[in-house]
Amino acid sequence: MVERVTTLMSQPEQIRNIGIVAHIDHGKTTLSDNLLAGAGMISEEIAGKACWMDSDEEEQARGITIDSSNVSMVHEYEGKEYLINMIDTPGHVDFGGDVTRAMRAVDGAVVLVDAVEGTMPQTETVLRQALKEGVRPVLFVNKVDRLINELQVDEIEMQIRLGKVIDKVNKLIKGMNEEAYKNGWKLDAAEGTVAFGSALYNWAISIPFMKTSGVSFKDVYDCCKAEDMKTLAKSSPLCQVVLDMVVNHLPDPPSMPRSVVYQSSGSTETRRPKKVSQCSTVTPSPACLMVTDISFDPHAGEVATGRLFSGT
Ligand SMILES: Nc1nc2c(ncn2[C@@H]2O[C@H](COP(=O)(O)OP(=O)(O)OP(=O)(O)O)[C@@H](O)[C@H]2O)c(=O)[nH]1
Ligand SMILES: [Mg+2]
């Protein structure tokens, strides 16, 4: 895996830097865990249960995410391998700074919404943070199992409710950045920028996936009603549907025009703030790294993880 990741690191068009954002408890860490398991990075047995991405003791005890964690995995799409660098962010309002920092390190975001609760105040906040940083969103409507098993909605009602979540998120995007909305950032289930599913039970569907696989809304409804999640996880794997959506609809780093302002040390002249645009490793430019996390490794000492905007 390390070898595959290292090879892909030098092929920017085959990289997707993504963040998972949502209101508290909508299922970000469960989704991140199961994506990692699906990509073969952690055991399926522990995914979502021990919340591998919530590795901190306090996170485990409180069942919430406090620090953003980042991981890498490889996903194959149409015969080509892609490197997915993913940041799981906290949903609690107190850790909003972590979300902003994460958004500066990614190009795309998977916005999660609990199908039962719908959009909540933090959904709006994290979406605003993403759009402000020029990060493109796709939508994952999570906990669809709860609609059927807890709210006992029928198949038609299920589809109506899912449609309402998409409309609400689109209304938010339009209100926050109408230009981006009109230029293709409007979420559209038919186009494949929306997926539905259950992060906990490890299944997902999207309209493009339904067309190629033959799995229908009725199949989903029937399986959930019969509490047969294992069949769904096999016929419609979460990892495949969500990461296909990520590869297909979220941008690679070279196609995201970003720039950062930096200030060097030294004389007054060199200290004047300068701007570097989109990572160019070809022409010599100063190394500019947006640090997203600092951790301690017993062998390496302090390790900063971040996004390189320019230089090497
Ligand atoms: N029924 C159901 N429960 C889910 C699903 N996804 C997550 N959960 C449950 O929702 C709760 C919150 O899940 P987390 O993954 O910790 O949510 P989070 O968004 O990471 O939470 P914070 O990081 O604290 O904001 C846990 O009890 C999960 O088991 C789902 O698809 N269906
Ligand atoms: Mg979490």
Q: Where are the domains of the chain?
A: 2-255, 258-310
Q: What confidence tier does 258 reach under pLDDT thresholds 50, 70, 90?
A: confident
For residue 154, give both structure tokens.
């029928």
Q: Tell me the CA distances in angstroms from 126 to 20, 89, 195, one per residue in order.
A: 10, 10, 19
For residue 219, give both structure tokens.
């199949």
Q: 2-255, which class in CATH?
A: alpha beta
Among 292, 295, 270, CA closest to 86: 292
Residue-wise pLDDT tens digits, 24-34: 999 999 999 99
CB 82 within 8 A of CB 247: yes
User: Nearest ligand, CA of residue 62?
Assistant: 1
For residue 21, give both structure tokens.
């954002």
Instruction: State the Cα–Cα distance between residues 69 and 311, nearest whole angstrom.
Output: 24
Half-sphere exposure of 231 (CA within 13 A, CB side): 11
Instruction: State the Cα–Cα distance between residues 246 and 111, nearest whole angstrom.
Output: 11
Q: pLDDT at residue 172 above 80?
A: yes
* Section 260-285 average pLDDT: 68
Instruction: State the Cα–Cα distance between residues 32 and 165, nearest whole angstrom.
Output: 21
Q: pLDDT at residue 280 above 70?
A: no
Instruction: State the Cα–Cα distance between residues 18 and 39, nearest whole angstrom.
Output: 15
Cβ–ligand 1 distance for 197 under 6 Å, the answer no
Q: Ligand 1 centre from 63 Cα, in Å?
A: 9
In ligand 1, which atom is closest to the CA atom of 24? Answer: 25
Q: Is 270 helix (H, G, I), strand (E, B) or coil?
A: helix
CB 21 within 8 A of CB 250: no
Q: What confidence tier does 295 reach under pLDDT thresholds 50, 70, 90?
A: confident
Q: pTM of the full predicted structure?
A: 0.90
169: Cβ–Cβ under 8 A, 6 or more apart, which residues?
111, 113, 119, 123, 127, 137, 139, 187
Cβ–ligand 1 distance for 22 under 6 Å, the answer yes
Cβ–ligand 1 distance for 249 under 6 Å, the answer no
Which residue's CA is the nearest one to ligand 1's atom 23? Answer: 65
Half-sphere exposure of 63 (CA within 13 A, CB side): 6
pLDDT of the residue at 279: 54
Query: Mean pLDDT score of the chain, rounded to an integer?
Result: 88
